[in-house]
Chain A
């Protein structure tokens, strides 16, 4: 595979919510441009109200962009045919509460015109996958939050989609559920599918995402590969077997001059939580600016060495678009 094709292309996307009289209420997304490549897991992050859900809804054609363009699976957002290959787990599971799990999957399966036998097989498999086997005949109105989440996930996968959009998939899930969800996302990626997810569980996003974007008040603040973004360039971490105190002293002495073959040398990683907090803080202080991976990495604060003014040192690296 030479160049990875884009499953989603967003160009200059903006969304203004208006009230009944057409007056502007809030600009939820501002001039957003990003691509999602086939086969990757893409994390969309941002504080509450930063426009993640709005973006996803525009991708699905539930909301109409105020301006800008969207291509999704090579089609228009308004084109229903794209939905054949898309699975969507809404922010909260908006399902029909009077149906039970089986009926729910059967209903959505029918919308894809999946033949009866296959529909039943898939439903059965998915219900087992999401662990609802015991509750499959109970109406959804009796489900707990996590159970509703699980059936929501199952319905998103009923059509064996190429692109899965998950809006806060782990909210409400127990730790095991969260673990399973992560495994599932990785499994989907291994099957060559593309996953876009929004989540506030940063550790989870960090575990599964290939790339992330951070939105803040509708603006794209950070975009890049997780690996790169979390790299700490101005530090080196050495990992080796157990050393005695003397040995440590010795190593320190030696390190002052040269390196040892047995030791591993790598840049230490910050965790995503730190990146996130940092982005939000920076964005709040200096609005209208976008940060590059290098910039974020170079100024990544470490415990005990918190230097808030660091990024300002090379503030000219990249200009904020638009």
Chain B
């Protein structure tokens, strides 16, 4: 199945609804106006009277009368034995149960199929009843004239329409609920105990997916292996290719609380990747699947500065910023600044444009980094603004100004480089490799502990040591008298959680530095003779390999997923394929954070609710149609709308959105007739082609109109698919659109039905 991942934009939807409904209302009123004016001079009076009457009816609607009609409808359904459906359903379930278990005793017949069967049985059994009941009732009332006795009471016509809808809706809701309840019990008994835990509602949190190509450059898509190009993209094994998921609204609650202390302590990932082999390998290796590595990445510098690299002239500047070499970056920038003043004409206005954009991004990201960055942000702000003023290559004044602000920014970068290095970390935690099962063989669950242990790289080691030493130093625990505290190695091993071998190494190095008078022990504190920052200091130590781990395990550090790895509420997970010449394919929904499951009953009831909404929407359409045409015609109309809405709606939207290549309905027809391929185009004269094109424009507009006035019934069956696949029905991508669509059609349909019933004579014709 394809999952809908984009939250439903309800504001946009309501706006669009308003305009479409408004347009239809205007057209209706205009038609009424023309029709009444044709009656002669008195027509105008009829028109205005009719309109005010209609509006008055609307305003004086009464729930009492609506409910009276609804009650009547309910009674009618019961007395007329519409409930026979129940019996059919029960019999069907019995048969199905017998068939599915005793047929070949396959316990592995998947739970999804049974849920599918159940939900489909419920909606498809009731659907005909919904259509017949709703399409026949009002025409029958008109035919037998029982409506005459009703509408000569103070009931508004709109109340008749609404009452019928509420009544049938109520009947159907009751039937669905009863069947649903029976079905729930059925499925609980049906599913064997050993796979009962498959009856669940997973709640996925999806991220955005981008890629890195084999050279490590960012890309929108991975490699096309010729499989299902649009859907899955592939990353090549043993290269720098990565699939990158960005979980943008990550919060602490997405961690599952396994030990029940009220604090989340595990991140549950679930993945479902496709593997693609270019070499066969042994049968064993096929069975084993491929290996993938998950890496959690927090790279503040990349977030903030990578956009500078979009312009070739600033690429080096960007690279240095990304590497945390702020001094070098400062130099690069000042060189660019002076080359501008030299009149070397290195920069294009487009470079400046990039610079402007990049400085915006930098500022936005720095806003998340706490105090002490105001000056540098202002530096970026000024330089960015100056860059933005450059519109032409020969605007020397603007270039001069830009050069000045760049020079200033360069000074600021140099000045703040230590602080920047401190607050802009880059942390990568790679998890042990995992096996990727083949796509169709199920999901892989990847539980990740909140606290991760990992082998430190240079930067994280320097950062770790700097923070540990600062902390201990401020607590005055490093120095006693003029020398390091005795037993400092043990103390560090205990408090900072480093291995004793490594802490001894650290103490040795510190002692050497003290002896060399680079460090000074004074007033119970350790300080540096030349006042550089601790992080810089340790960076140099680490890079000069004086702190290379004595422990074969390396420097083992810990990181907290939420506290250390999330930046700007985003958790970034990179996936790499570890096997040479193999590919792993993925699409957005193929990796998600799995929140604690909901009970099966939750998703199941949501699916039932969607079923009810769908059936009632059918009723709405049926009742509306039946106010103007007779039963059989209304039935035909309703059925048509349902089929189009169920089967073709997605297709229509795809054509309109240009996702499906379509050369227009008529030219496609001509192509088929002429048996030519679409690339070649139709073989007709220019003039005919113009005619075909404009006709196609009309047909596209008609298609647009149809896609707006025919409800997307697929929305409702979608909810069942979630449950079949063991997911909860998501609110924003499924329930909300289903509910809004329902009301979006209910309101205009009721109005239309009321108008039809009001402005027609209630005589059978």
- A interface residues with partner B (beta carbon < 8 Å): 19-20, 57, 60-64, 67, 76, 78-81, 83-84, 86, 88, 90, 92-96, 98-99, 103, 107-108, 110-113, 139, 152, 155, 159
A56: nearest residue on chain B (CB-CB)?
A: B152
Kindly list chain A residues whose C-beta atoms are within 8 Å of the C-beta of B75: 98-99, 103
Contact A155:B49 (CB < 8 A) given known A98-B80, A110-B64, A111-B155:
no
Name 24 interchain pairs, CB-CB below 8 A, sorted by A. A62-B763, A63-B761, A78-B53, A80-B151, A83-B152, A83-B154, A84-B154, A92-B145, A94-B146, A98-B79, A99-B75, A107-B71, A108-B150, A108-B153, A110-B67, A111-B65, A111-B150, A111-B153, A111-B154, A112-B154, A113-B64, A113-B65, A139-B79, A152-B149
- Determine whether B5 belongs to the interface, using a CB cutoff of 8 Å to chain A: no
Contacts of B765 in A (CB 8 A): 19-20
A110 to B72, CA, bound (A): 11
Contacts of B76 in A (CB 8 A): 96, 98
Main secondary structure of the interface of B (DSSP, over half): helix
B762 contacts the other chain (CB 8 A): yes
Q: A80-B154, A80-B155 are in contact. Are A155 and B149 (CB under 8 A)?
A: yes
Whether A88 lies near B149 (C-beta < 8 A) is yes
* Contact call B72/A107, Cβ cutoff below 8 A: yes
Q: What residue in chain A is nearest B80 (Cβ atoms)? A: A98
Question: Which B residues are in CB contact (< 8 Å) with A88?
Answer: 149, 152
The 5 closest A-B pairs by CB, nearest first: A110-B68, A111-B153, A94-B145, A98-B79, A88-B152
Q: Which residues on the B side are within 8 Å of A107 (C-beta)?
A: 68, 71-72
Q: Complex: how many Å from CA A152 to CA B151?
A: 15
Q: Quick check: A80 and B156 within 8 Å, CB to CB?
A: yes
Shortest distance between the CB of A61 and any CB in chain B (Å): 8
| Distance in Å: Cβ of B139 to nearest Cβ of chain A | 14
What residues of A have a CB within 8 angstroms of the CB of B65 in the complex? 110-111, 113
Interchain CA distance A108-B154 in the complex, whole Å: 10
What total of chain B residues lie within 8 Å of the partner, measured CB to CB? 33
* Max chain B C-beta neighbours (<10 A), residue from A67, A81, A95, A111: A111
Which of B71, B146, B154, B762 has the most chain A CB within a 10 Å cutoff? B154
User: Roughly how many angstroms separate A293 CA and B765 CA in the complex, as a whole number?
Assistant: 39
Residue in A closest to B159 when the chains form the complex, CB atoms: A111
CB-CB under 8 A from A19, the residues of chain B are: 765
Number of A-B contacts (CB under 8 A): 86
Q: Which of A62, A79, A90, A159 contacts B761 (CB 8 A)?
A: A62
Contacts of B149 in A (CB 8 A): 88, 90, 93-95, 108, 152, 155
Q: A96-B72, A98-B79 are in contact. Are A112 and B153 (CB under 8 A)?
A: yes
A95 proximity list for chain B (CB < 8 A): 146, 149
Interface residues of B in 76-95 (CB under 8 A from A): 76, 79-80
User: Which residues of chain B come closer than 8 Å to A57, judged between CB atoms?
Assistant: 148
Known A61-B151, A112-B153, A139-B79; 14 more pairs at CB < 8 Å:
A62-B761, A62-B762, A62-B763, A76-B53, A80-B151, A80-B154, A80-B155, A88-B149, A90-B149, A94-B147, A94-B149, A107-B71, A110-B64, A159-B153
Interface string of B732-765 (1 = CB under 8 A from A): 0000000000000000000000000000011101
CA distance A223 to B68 in the complex (A): 41
Residues of B within 8 A of A79 (CB): 53
Task: Check if A94 sits within 8 Å of B144, measured CB to CB.
Answer: yes
* Structural contact, B49 and A83, CB atoms closer than 8 A: no
Q: Which residues of B contact A112 (CB under 8 A)?
A: 153-154
Distance A112 CA – B148 CA, assembled complex (angstroms)? 15
A-facing residues in B251-290 (Cβ within 8 Å): none
Within the complex, the shortest CB–CB distance from B159 to chain A, in Å, comes to 9
A79 to B157, CA, bound (A): 11
Q: Is the CB of B154 within 8 A of A81?
A: yes
In the bound complex, residues from chain B placing their C-beta under 8 Å from that of A98 are 75-76, 79-80
Contacts of A78 in B (CB 8 A): 49-50, 53
- Complex formed: what's the CA distance from A273 to B153 in Å? 34
**A60 adjacent to B152 (CB under 8 Å):** yes
Q: A81 — which chain B residues lie within 8 A by C-beta? A: 154
A98-B76 Cα distance, complex, nearest whole Å: 7
B763-A63 in contact (CB<8A): yes
Decide yes or no: A90 and B72 within 8 Å by CB, A78-B53, A111-B153, A113-B65 being known contacts: no
A86 proximity list for chain B (CB < 8 A): 152
A185 nearest CB across to chain B (Å)? 19
What residues on A are CB-neighbors of B144 within 8 Å? 94
B80 CB contacts on chain A under 8 angstroms = 98
Q: How far is the CB of A22 from chain B (nearest CB, A)?
A: 11
A-chain residues with CB within 8 Å of residue B57 when the two chains form the complex: 80
Please encode chain B, from 43 to 56, with 1 for each CB lying within 8 Å of some chain A CB and 0 for all others: 00000011001000
A77–B50 CA distance with the chains assembled, in angstroms:
12
Q: Which residue of B lies closest to A57 (CB)?
A: B148
- Give the shortest distance, in Å, between A132 (CB) and chain B (any CB): 17
What is the distance, in angstroms, from B202's C-beta to the closest C-beta of chain A?
47
Cβ of B62 within 8 Å of any chain A Cβ, yes or no, is yes
Report the separation of the CA atoms of residues A90 and B72 in the bound assembly, to the nearest whole angstrom: 20
Residues of A within 8 A of B151 (CB): 61-62, 80
Which residues from chain A contact B79 at a C-beta distance below 8 Å? Answer: 98, 139
Residue in A80, A83, A107, A112 with the greatest tally of chain B CB atoms within 10 Å: A80
Minimum distance in angstroms from B709 CB to a CB of chain A: 25
Q: How far is the CA of A112 from the CA of B150 in the complex (A)?
A: 11
Chain B's nearest CB lies how many Å from the CB of A120?
Answer: 15
Q: Across the interface, which residues of A come within 8 angstroms of B72, CB to CB?
A: 96, 99, 107
Q: Which residue of A lies closest to B155 (CB)?
A: A111
Give complex CA distance A80, B53 in Å.
9
A111 and B53 in contact (CB under 8 A), knowing A62-B762, A95-B149?
A: no
How far, in Å, is B294 (CB) from chain A's closest CB? 65
Give Cα A103 to B76, complex, Å: 12
- In the complex, the chain B residue whose C-beta lies closest to that of A83 is B154
Residue numbers in B under 8 Å from A80 (CB-CB): 57, 151, 154-156
- Return B503 CB to nearest CB of chain A, in Å: 85
CB-CB under 8 A from A99, the residues of chain B are: 72, 75
A140, B79: Cα distance in complex, Å: 12
